[in-house]
Structure 1
Amino acid sequence: MIKALIVDDNKQITEVLKSFALKEGIQVDLAYDGEEAWNKFQDNKYDILLLDIMMPKMDGYELLKKIRKISMVPVILITAKGEDYERIMGLDYGADDYIVKPFSVAEVMARIRAILRRIDIDTNSIKVVKVDNLYLNLDEYSCKLDNKEIQLTKREFEILWMLAENKDKVFIRDNILDSLWGMEYFGDTRTVDTHIKRLRAKLNSEKNKWRISTVRGVGYKFEV
Structure 2
Amino acid sequence: MPKVLLIDDDTELTALLSEYLEEEGFEVETSADARVGIAGAADQSADIIVLDVMMPRMNGIDALQRIRRLGDVPILMLTAKGDDIDRISGLNFGADDYVAKPCSPGELVARIRAILRRAGSRFGDENVLHVGNLILHPAGRTAQWQGKPLELTGAEFNILEVLARNAGQLVPKQDISRRAFGRALTPFDRRIDVHISSVRQKLGTRGDGTSWIRSIRGQGYQLVQEL
* TM-score (norm. length: structure 1): 0.53
Asked if 1:86 corresponds to 2:86, the answer is yes
5 Å-filtered alignment, 1:35-54, equals 35-54=35-54
Q: Are the counterparts in 2 of residues 52 and 77 from structure 1 also a CA contact under 8 Å?
A: yes
Residue 135 (structure 1) aligns with: none
Asked if 1:10 corresponds to 2:35, the answer is no
Q: Are the counterparts in 1 of residues 42 and 67 from structure 2 also a CA contact under 8 Å?
A: no
The C-alpha deviation readout for 1:116-139, integer Å capped at 9, x for no partner, is 2222269xxxxxxxxxxxxxxxxx
- Counterpart code for 1:21: L
Distance 1:115 1:184 in 2: 14
Distance 2:70 2:7 in 1: 19
5 Å-filtered alignment, 1:142-221, equals 183-184=140-141
The C-alpha deviation readout for 1:74-99, integer Å capped at 9, x for no partner, is 11100224222221111001111111
Greater than 3 Å deviation, 4+ residue runs: 182-187
Residue 133 (structure 2) aligns with: none
Deviation at 1:62, TM superposition (A): 0.6
Q: Secondary structure of the equivalent of 1:16?
A: helix
Distance 1:56 1:76 in 2: 19
* TM-score (norm. length: structure 2): 0.52
Distance 1:25 1:113 in 2: 11
The CA RMSD measured in Å over matched residues stands at: 2.3
Deviation at 1:44, TM superposition (A): 4.7
Distance 1:80 1:121 in 2: 28
Distance 1:10 1:20 in 2: 16
Distance 2:82 2:97 in 1: 13
Residue 99 (structure 2) aligns with: 99
Residue 114 (structure 2) aligns with: 114
Unmatched 5+ stretches in structure 2: 123-138, 143-152, 155-227
The 1:76–1:121 alpha-carbon spacing in structure 2 relative to 1, beyond 3 Å, is closer
The C-alpha deviation readout for 1:6-58, integer Å capped at 9, x for no partner, is 01101111111111111111111000011110111123511001000011221
Q: Secondary structure of the equivalent of 2:57?
A: coil
Give the count of matched residue pairs. 128
The 1:30–1:85 alpha-carbon spacing in structure 2 relative to 1, beyond 3 Å, is same
Unmatched 5+ stretches in structure 1: 123-181, 188-224
Q: Are the counterparts in 2 of residues 114 and 184 from structure 1 also a CA contact under 8 Å?
A: no
